Amino acid sequence: MASITSRAVAVLRRRSLAAAGICCMLVALSALAGCERGILDPAGPVGGAERVIMLDALAIMLAIVVPTILCTLAFAWWYRATNRRALYAPRWAYSGRLELLVWSIPALIVVFLGGIAWISSHDLDPAKRLSAGSEPLEVEVVALDWKWLFIYPDQHVASVNRLVAPVGVPLHFRLTSASVMNVFFVPRLGSEIYAMYGMTTELNLQADRTGTFHGLAAHINGDGFSDMTFETQALSPQEFSQWLVSTQAQGPTLDEAAYRGLLRQSSKIEPYTYRTVAPNLFQAIVSQQLPPGEGPHIAQADAETVSPQED
Amino acid sequence: MFGNLTWAAIPFDQPIPLYSAAVVGLMVLAVLAWVVIKGHVPYLWREWITSVDHKRIGAMYCMLALLMLLRGFIDALMMRSQQAVAFHAAGYLPPEHYNQIFSAHGTIMIFFVAMPFMIGLINYVMPLQLGVRDVAFPTFNSVGFWLTAAGALLVNISLVVGEFSRAGWLPYPPLSELQYSPGVGIDYYLWALEISGAGTLISGINLVTTILKTRAPGMSYGRMPIFCWTALASNLLIVAAFPILTATLAMLLLDRYLDFHFFTNAAGGNPMMFVNLIWAWGHPEVYILILPAFGAFSEIVSTFSGKPLFGYRSMVVATMAICVLSFMVWLHHFFTMGAGADVNGIFGIMSMVIAVPTGVKVFNWLFTMYRGRVRFSTAMHWAVGFMVTFVIGGMTGVLLAVPPADFVLHNSLFLVAHFHNMVIGGVLFGAFAAYEYWFPKAFGFKLHERLGKAAFWCWFTGFYVAFVPLYAVGLLGMTRRLQHYDQPEWHPWLLVAAGGALLIFCGIALQATQLIVSIRSRRRLADSTGDIWDGRTLEWATPSPPPLFNFAVMPDVRGEEPYWGMKRKAIEAMQLSAEPSYEAIEIPRNSPTGFVTAFFAFILGFGLIWHIWWLVVLALIGAYATFVVFAWRDETESVIPQEEVARIDRANRAARALALTEMTA
């Protein structure tokens, strides 16, 4: 008997060790909140609002989750078979009051969280314009195999693998894909959104801090997936104007022929810019007047649907 | 002659798959050679391969799942080690190989580990709990199992002959279309899942019919053990959801083979349709997996607390509520596709609503332990470990159901950590708990307890060390499936996660040791009565292992927990009930139909993948001929004579009577 008891104690000691381990992990997780980077250190209003919602929802749920975990461990420990001081009610299996409680606690939490979900999904709908003072900067995004093309339709310039934006100005993105499904994501700015061939999605973001932020493709899109990253440069409005002027002054032209070159699979392309862009290029891509990306080269031999054209 | 199949399909230039396949191939050959030399082939053929006994089929499902768990876990180790070293470096797995590994890992773990394990458990336990002698369609059952095994074989063949899918475990078009994935990888994926999916559907139909139509006298719905209720819910979901999967994958096959345009970029195809359809199956799928695990935990917590399950009716309502609600939440897998605020809001709320019945279940397990006498067997370790882990996973799940939170967490490693939290902490812990709990029933001896507990602690801590860092790195903006990366702040977390994978490896090694040690000391661990855990449901009324006919006489069910009632009565009277009058029992005859059908299905799949059309025709003819031979057979049942039934039952009664006198003495 004694050996069984001591073994049970050892088991429970290990269990409390594990519980302590979990707590340490949770502390480490919350320490991330202070970490420079990631979605917990947003550099714009969208990411900021999303962080608040996440932390609020987490706090509400922890209020019920932590007691539940503690109760589980406490009940398992106190009602262990070797504890002769614990009550044993071998037939007790129903209590109307407890039933009411176990249904209403999660229901109340969900009513509360459901309200948050409903309101916040309207407030933070990716397609909803940001209500900042200034007019938004329009950016058209084309996901290619495996690089990002950013077209500034009003400024008639374009950039590959580098998104340049002024701080404090709302950014209105229209996105499409030239080949497979992709997800556009700048973690420190906030919401991600799918980019799909023949379709346009909309996204509104804003940077409030200058800096360079990591951007990436957040959906598997083939062998070049891991290298389909881009940098987001948030510049002061003056610097952004200077960047526009210098971009418009030099570099190649993005016309249909140049675009067909981009359709070929390639990765690890160093960022570069186009001095000027053919008008309505984005429309031509979305409305499928231009062909989709070619895919891997083996496909060209037998697939008639691919129309690789030399430029 | 061989379609697209040439020597180029064998990856001679890639040492990793080649050597691993060579090692596995040699091991398989060695086992086969041993089986043949030792003369075990007739035994295997008679007792296992052609068996239509639900217990044998259930056990084979679980064995398949455990084998595939090893394969899937090796993939996991490779992924964790690749990401641990691939900071500012290419690592050791090139993208075309790494992408196959994560795709195979997901496919194998869901379709060939979690699914067969759960279906195997249901197959084994449910008829015993219902007090019946077999499932509704025994031969059909065998067909279902062997088709699943054929699918698993196809996935594993792809390791050496050709390649596997590189497009993830759910191959979103257009990436999975011929234009962007011209290789055979996607075809392997599609045909393997078409074949095993048919097997799963067959199994679902069979098990639903069994529950609805073949219960013991007196076993009304309100008296069914909770595991049977969860099995019913899970199999109803299979019947409703798997046709969607089969049809969706068939449409992709039409695109790839016959130039259709369901999901293509060109000619008006719509890839978003695939995404909707695949998740219309995919979300019910996670409940197909978790519900039987919930059922197993309910039985285990109740047995080892020495109390009936708290709030049985609540549990039934919660189970059926989850069954219905699981079809109403699929869009939460793609909140970031820009559906609009109203749609996102509704699906977010619906996803949270599922947390209510799930929360009720957790509380009910809690109150089952309350005022109980909790015995910390290995199975109970898994159950308590599950309750703690699952609550955390549920919390992160509800967090992901808030659309704006999902906008920054979609496809991140936070999401990966969340669903592993549910699938490992819920489904796999449930499978292991059930394995510890019902193993003595199936094989007549229990598993070594201390090794089992050691394995639990490795898995439990290993899980947290492996996946808490993934939560963290997801919050740092890391997306899933990256083959390499340059962000310094991700690297330390991924190193820790790799350490966690090693801890889990220790857990698996201990489980293998446990099995070997237990088999070697099976006499010491033997269970003579058939009721090793002081159980409450009817499966514990049978000997361990149960005879072919399960019950010598049909049990007469007079309430919830019928076996507990019989046992109480016997203890009070200090003697067993009077010996029943035995009769001869008819049982279904063995049939090789399932094995042969699956063999032809495998050949069919292989021929289609490599465009070997004569093989396809041959396989179709073979499969049809098998069906005709089966349909024309004359004798469908054989008889176990009365004396044999009496002998087996008397032996068990003697053991139980002995245990009773020891207990009352």
Q: pLDDT band at B21, cuts 50/70/90? A: confident
Question: What is the C-alpha to C-alpha distance for residues B533 and A55, in angstroms, rounded to an integer?
Answer: 44
Query: Does B388 contact chain A (CB < 8 Å)?
Result: yes
Please report the DSSP string for A148-209 in residue order.
EEEEETTTTEEEESEEEEETTS-EEEEEEESSS-EEEEETTTEEEEEE-BT--EEEEE---S
Model confidence at A14: pLDDT above 80 = no
CA atoms within 13 A on the CB side of A63: 12
Question: What is the C-alpha to C-alpha distance for residues B283 and B330, in angstroms, rounded to an integer?
Answer: 6
**Which phi and psi (to 5°) does residue A307 adopt?**
-125, 75
pLDDT, tens digit, 9 for 90 and up, residues A195-236: 999 999 999 999 999 999 999 999 999 999 999 999 999 999
User: Do β-strands A147-152 and A201-205 pair in parallel, antiparallel, or remain unpaired?
Assistant: unpaired
pLDDT, tens digit, 9 for 90 and up, residues A266-293: 999 999 999 999 999 999 999 999 989 8
Complete domains list, chain A, with CATH: 2-123 (1.10.287.90), 137-289 (2.60.40.420)
pLDDT, tens digit, 9 for 90 and up, residues A90-145: 999 999 999 999 999 999 999 999 999 999 999 999 999 998 678 899 999 999 99
Interface contact A61-B399, CB threshold 8 A:
yes
pLDDT score recorded for residue A205? 96
pLDDT, tens digit, 9 for 90 and up, residues A139-182: 999 999 999 999 999 999 999 999 999 999 999 999 999 999 99
Model confidence at A1: pLDDT above 50 = no
Kindly report the length of chain B: 665
pLDDT score recorded for residue A297? 67
pLDDT, tens digit, 9 for 90 and up, residues B550-589: 999 999 898 889 999 999 988 888 888 888 999 999 999 9
Token couple for A137: 């900067």
Token couple for A77: 């420990």
Give me the interface pTM, i.e. the ipTM: 0.91
Question: What is the C-alpha to C-alpha distance for residues B242 and B237, in angstroms, rounded to an integer?
Answer: 8
Interface contact A93-B312, CB threshold 8 A:
yes
Interface contact B307-A128, CB threshold 8 A:
no
AA letter at A92: W
Token couple for B346: 């509704």
pLDDT score recorded for residue A131? 80
- Whether the CB-CB separation of B149 and B62 falls below 8 Å is answered with no
Q: Which residues pair with A175 in a beta bridge?
A: A141, A201
Complete domains list, chain B, with CATH: 284-522 (1.20.210.10)
B163 class by beta-carbon count within 10 Å (0-12 exposed, 13-18 middle, 19+ buried): buried
Query: Does A74 contact chain B (CB < 8 Å)?
Result: no
B96 Cβ contact list (under 8 Å, min separation 6): A223, B163, B166
Sign of CA dihedral B306, B545, B449, B432: negative
Q: pLDDT band at B67, cuts 50/70/90? A: very high
pLDDT score recorded for residue A11? 53
Model confidence at A7: pLDDT above 70 = no
CA distance A173 to chain B (A): 12
Token couple for B140: 């059909």
Question: What is the C-alpha to C-alpha distance for residues B535 and B304, in angstroms, rounded to an integer?
Answer: 8
Hey, which residues 195-224 in chain A have their CB within 8 Å of chain B? 196-199, 201-202, 214, 216-224
Interface contact A18-B306, CB threshold 8 A:
no
For residue B104, give the nearest of B157, B144, B150 by alpha carbon: B157
Rg for chain A, CA atoms, rounded: 27
Token couple for A159: 């950039």
Tally C-beta pairs within 8 A across A and B.
333
Q: Tokens 């900021």 identify what position?
A: A48
Q: pTM, whole model, 2 decimals?
A: 0.92
pLDDT score recorded for residue A22? 57
DSSP state of A211: E
For residue A151, give the nearest of A262, A276, A300 by alpha carbon: A276
**Which phi and psi (to 5°) does residue B428 adopt?**
-70, -40
Chain A residues within an 8 Å CB radius of B310: 92-95, 98
Q: pLDDT band at A294, cuts 50/70/90? A: confident
Q: Bin A129: left if φ > 0, else alpha if -120 < ψ < 50, else beta.
A: beta
Torsion angle in degrees (nearest 10) through CA of A157, A162, A167, A171: 60
Of all residues in chain B, the one with the smallest CA distance to A291 is B266
- Whether the CB-CB separation of B453 and B426 falls below 8 Å is answered with no
